[in-house]
A and B are shown apart, each in its own frame.
Chain A
Amino acid sequence: MKSTQQDFLSGARDSLPILLGVVPFAMICSVAAISMGLSSFEAVGMSFIVFAGASQLVVLQLMGEGALWIVMLLTAWVINLRFTMYSAGLAPYLQKEPLCRKIPFAYILSDQAFGVTMSHLANHSLANAAWYFYGSAFAVWLTWIISAIIGALLGSLIPASWGLDFAFPLSFMALLFAALKDRPTVIAALVGGTSAIIFNGLPYNLGLILAATLGILAGMFAEKKLAVQK
């Protein structure tokens, strides 16, 4: 076997434990899309084209609230700004790769593939680090698509009376608590959340963008203040 193939396979294999988390999340995205009135085909299409779960859920919730398109797009992109950090982290390993591989594998770059790849590379030096990432990214992507299809099949069986729209804030809540790492992030959440309640009356969910911005600024400010105190 070629060494590139071996690294691809070990990337895929090392991703297996994390795939357990990908399966339900992809299924939730499909079920959520269908509960908002999308067809099964549209639900799977969304997961296939957009391929970024948290932002998909946000767009679906905002769609239900009749938000402006620009608000949906901006909110989704802000949530996905973290990809630039992953992109910067992986860039040195992909430097010598051709565009015909960089482009498709950038397209399927995920939180999970980034996490698996970077933690592996921190402890091992590989001849083909790029291929290790490709293996991980592909495993996550394939699992995501298959789970999205299964979720779409299940989603069409769930009646609207179950109040599944409540699953949106619940899923964001789980992601929120995972994001609270220290005092500045807690302050960012408190300011963002409180401002969102205050500005909830603004039209087209513009209050969301305003509140998110205030929360981010508050977090940055708190971090600076705390750093000075130390």
Chain B
Amino acid sequence: MKELPIWILFLALAVGNFALRFSFIYLFGKMDIPNWLRDALKFVPASVLAALVLPALVYSEGALDISLNNIRLLAGIGGALVAWRIKNVLWTIIVGMVLLWILQAI
């Protein structure tokens, strides 16, 4: 990856993030957060994160693979149990990665 474009990407991300963060602090008294946005926001994390996670687990080298041969799926299920019980990012990563390494080794 070339030097310049990646910094432009970061900058574009930052400008958008700042606009979102500053939005209603700036607009206070002029405009309130619209109801449809408030309703939609409730579902953004669940929907987007699930859309990121599931394909990463069930696709193996570009092909759908829902079987015991798919070690990322198996390790992911282990990670999901940890995520479900203790909702902690670091522990989910540690358990999932260790499971992946064990499954790779056997």
Contact = CB atoms under 8 A, between A and B. Distances in A.
Interface of A: 21, 24-25, 28, 37-38, 42, 45-46, 49-52, 55, 58-59, 61, 63, 69, 72-73, 75-88, 90-92, 94-95, 102-103, 106-107, 109, 162-164, 166-180, 184-186, 188-197, 200, 207-208, 211-216, 218-220, 223
A21 B91 CA distance: 11
Given A84-B20, A190-B50, A176 B39 contact: no
Given A88-B32, A188-B47, A196-B51, A50 B41 contact: no
Instruction: Give the dominant DSSP class at B's interface.
Output: helix
A88 B57 CA distance: 36
Q: Which of B26, B53, B97 has the most CB of A within 10 A?
A: B53
A51 B17 contact: yes
Given A80-B20, A81-B37, A175-B49, A169 B56 contact: yes
B22 A52 contact: no
B48 A88 contact: no
B27 to A, nearest CB: 8
B9 A173 contact: no
Contact of A173 (B18, B28, B79): B79
Contacts of B40: 81, 216, 220
